[in-house]
Structure 1
């Protein structure tokens, strides 16, 4: 499975849990951290945790290992490291505060198709 297919799987997992404003940034020529950032948010801590759990489960169902997951207990900003993809799952308040889309404004956005 290529990285764009993995990105699509992760985005679909977010969408399945009703994540809001799901965007993908192409970080390949901008950062050494990852090739893609997937950014979304939930409206409360339980939803943020459910989104992160869904991403982890969807990846594991497809034999893709999660390298690391941070922030799950606080559920304000959960970071799911899928290797070439870093999924940022925010609580609504933290997303507007950190505003990664503006911070990484040079990164092109990718179109995501949800089923």
Structure 2
């Protein structure tokens, strides 16, 4: 499966679990970490976990390897690493605090 297809699959899964403010960032040429970041948030720890669990299940069903998942137990910032597509599922308050969109937008402008 191509990276853009994985990105779309993850985005649909997040939307199905009512994730909010789903944003995809094209990181190709900006970051060595991944080609795409997908950022979204849930309003409760339980919703954050439900979103992350659904992503894990959907990727598994589509034979996409998850390299790692971090932060699931705390459910404030869950990182789902699917190789060249990395999904950040935040709790709303933590998303506001870390503001990854702004951080990476500024980084992209410097390059």
User: Could you state the TM-score of these two structures normalised by the residue count of structure 1?
Assistant: 0.91
Question: What secondary structure, in the 3-state scheme, does the structure 2 residue paired with 1:104 have?
Answer: helix
The structure with the greater share of residues assigned to helix is: 2
**Please, which runs of 5 or more residues in structure 1 have no aligned partner?**
109-115
Deviations 1:24-63 (A, max 9, x none): 0000110101000000000000000000001010100100
Say whether 1:71 aligns with 2:77: no
Q: Give the superposition deviation at 1:65.
A: 1.0
> How big is the alpha-carbon RMSD for the aligned residues of Structure 1 and Structure 2?
1.2
Distance 1:63 1:86 in 2: 16
**Please, which runs of 5 or more residues in structure 2 have no aligned partner?**
none
- Who is 1:61 aligned against? 61
Say whether 1:3 aligns with 2:10: no
Query: What stretches of structure 1 move > 3 A for 4+ residues in a row?
Result: none
